[in-house]
């Protein structure tokens, strides 16, 4: 019988700030509803930490009996052993929806709400002794560099012992990101989703390709470990789901001196359409991307969970034959022909 894991470090020691609530995590599992709520209605202000830990610990006790609805089907469930300390070590900040980009796949569209100031909340948590160093602080959004007190919050968490992960559009250059990637304490993730100005504009709906390339180049010069500058390609059907664009993307990465890339679909966007808006060529594009990454000496491509989820759904195994020229040519032909619903055999 398949072992059912019930461990999750997010339930144990993490906090996620959303625009209108606080939860244990920001995950949306394939079956459960995800994001177990800690404070269902929140718009900033002081948090009663004792009350919050009581909710966390009661939830863990429940989870040990049977997987709670929110966590059903989550890929983060593991054999993790709960510690049930009154400590937070991992943070996710999604409360600020301000953004300088207008990506077609972004949800919720057009809110661009600045949200609440999270800095005094984290300061209070640290001062009251509920903080544990050694975890990760993930800044997402919206655009994190536009968050109130972004620099102060980054300094506060880094100086106390958190590692940083910042997901930015790179439209605004951040000397703070530059500082921490140079100190080897930050992973910066930038979705450029294209290899040229025209496609960038179609995905992002802003004309900032040159600015972003310039900023990526500056980060590439500053970064101590090149794997801490990750450039992402989110596949958007009908816009960048073709091999020509992926070719251009890898040429651009070489020019900008980037060594680390990621491929993804945008899960919120895909979910809204029940994954029906995912490119019919997704597996071929995925394999082609991996093929080019290897060819360009970038062996460790990150594919985010949802690509993996889709990859798991396909009946056959990912092709190892892509390395052979004849199959590569066949893929190239299929992709160029824009043939729909190709069966992966
Ligand atoms: S199991 Fe998944 S949904 Fe549940 S708290 Fe952990 S990460 Fe979140």
Query: Beta strand pairing status for 14-17 and 22-23?
Result: antiparallel
* Residue 311 scores a pLDDT above 70: no
Task: Determine the 3-state secondary structure of 88 from DSSP.
Answer: strand
Looking from the CA of residue 75, the nearest atom of ligand 1 is 2
Q: Is the pTM of this model over 0.85?
A: yes
Structure tokens, 42: 């929140």
* Residue 338 scores a pLDDT above 90: no
Choose one of 5, 8, 305 to mutate for the ligand 1 pocket test, by most ligand atoms within 8 angstroms of C-beta.
8
pLDDT at residue 326, rounded to an integer: 41
Which residue owns the Cα nearest ligand 1 atom 4? 71
Query: Beta strand pairing status for 136-139 and 163-168?
Result: parallel
List helix spans (H) across the chain. Answer: 9-13, 49-65, 119-127, 150-160, 175-182, 197-204, 209-222, 243-256, 267-272, 282-295, 305-313, 325-337
Range with top average pLDDT, 51-60, 240-249, 301-310: 51-60
Query: Beta strand pairing status for 302-303 and 260-264?
Result: parallel
Task: Place 319 in a pLDDT band, splitting at 50, 70 and 90.
Answer: very low
Cα 13 to ligand 1 centroid, rounded to whole Å: 11
pLDDT at residue 316, rounded to an integer: 42
Cα 73 to ligand 1 centroid, rounded to whole Å: 9
Task: Enumerate residues 6+ apart whose C-beta is below 8 A from 62.
Answer: 68
Pocket residues: Cβ below 6 A from ligand 1 = 8, 10-11, 24-25, 27, 29, 34, 36, 70-71, 74, 76-77
User: Quick one: average pLDDT of 37-53?
Assistant: 97
Cα 78 to ligand 1 centroid, rounded to whole Å: 10
Q: What is the pLDDT of residues 151-176, one digit of tens each?
A: 999 999 999 999 999 999 999 999 99
Which residue owns the Cα nearest ligand 1 atom 8? 25
For the chain, domain boundaries: 1-168, 189-345
User: What is the average pLDDT value for the chain, to the nearest integer?
Assistant: 85
Looking from the CA of residue 32, the nearest atom of ligand 1 is 3
Q: What is the pLDDT of residues 257-280, one digit of tens each?
A: 999 999 887 766 766 666 666 777
Task: Place 331 in a pLDDT band, splitting at 50, 70 and 90.
Answer: very low
Looking from the CA of residue 25, the nearest atom of ligand 1 is 8
User: Quick one: average pLDDT of 61-86?
Assistant: 91
The arrangement of secondary structure in 189-345, i.e. its CATH architecture, is Alpha-Beta Horseshoe (3.80)
Cα 17 to ligand 1 centroid, rounded to whole Å: 15
């Amino acid at each position: 019988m398949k072992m059912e894991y019930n461990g999750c470090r997010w339930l144990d020691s993490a906090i996620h700030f959303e625009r209108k609530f606080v939860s244990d995590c920001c995950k949306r599992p394939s079956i459960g509803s995800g994001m177990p709520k800690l404070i269902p209605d929140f718009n900033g202000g002081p948090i009663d930490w004792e009350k919050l830990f009581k909710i966390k610990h009661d939830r863990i006790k429940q989870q040990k009996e049977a997987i709670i609805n929110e966590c059903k089907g989550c890929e983060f469930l593991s054999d993790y052993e709960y510690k049930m300390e009154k400590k937070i070590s991992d943070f996710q900040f999604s409360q600020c929806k301000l953004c300088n980009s207008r990506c077609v796949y972004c949800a919720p569209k057009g809110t661009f709400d600045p949200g609440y100031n999270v800095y005094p909340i984290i300061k209070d948590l640290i001062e009251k002794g509920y903080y544990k160093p050694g975890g990760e602080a993930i800044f997402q959004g919206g655009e994190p560099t536009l968050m109130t007190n972004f620099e102060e919050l980054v300094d506060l968490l880094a100086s106390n012992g958190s590692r940083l992960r910042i997901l930015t559009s790179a439209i605004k250059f951040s000397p703070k990101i530059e500082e921490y990637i140079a100190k080897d304490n930050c992973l910066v993730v930038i979705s450029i989703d294209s290899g040229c100005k025209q496609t960038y504009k179609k995905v992002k709906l802003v004309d900032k390709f040159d600015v972003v390339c310039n900023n990526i180049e500056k980060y590439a010069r500053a970064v101590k470990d090149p794997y801490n500058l990750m450039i992402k390609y989110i596949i958007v059907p009908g816009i960048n789901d073709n091999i020509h664009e992926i070719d251009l993307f890898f040429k651009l990465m070489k020019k900008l001196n980037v060594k680390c890339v990621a491929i993804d679909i945008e899960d919120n966007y895909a979910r809204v359409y029940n994954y029906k808006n995912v490119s019919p060529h997704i597996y071929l594009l995925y394999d082609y991307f991996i093929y080019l990454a290897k060819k360009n000496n970038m062996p460790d491509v990150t594919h985010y969970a949802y690509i993996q989820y889709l990859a798991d759904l396909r009946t056959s195994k990912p092709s190892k034959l892509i390395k052979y020229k004849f199959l590569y040519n066949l893929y190239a032909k299929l992709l160029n022909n824009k043939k729909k619903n190709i069966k992966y055999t």
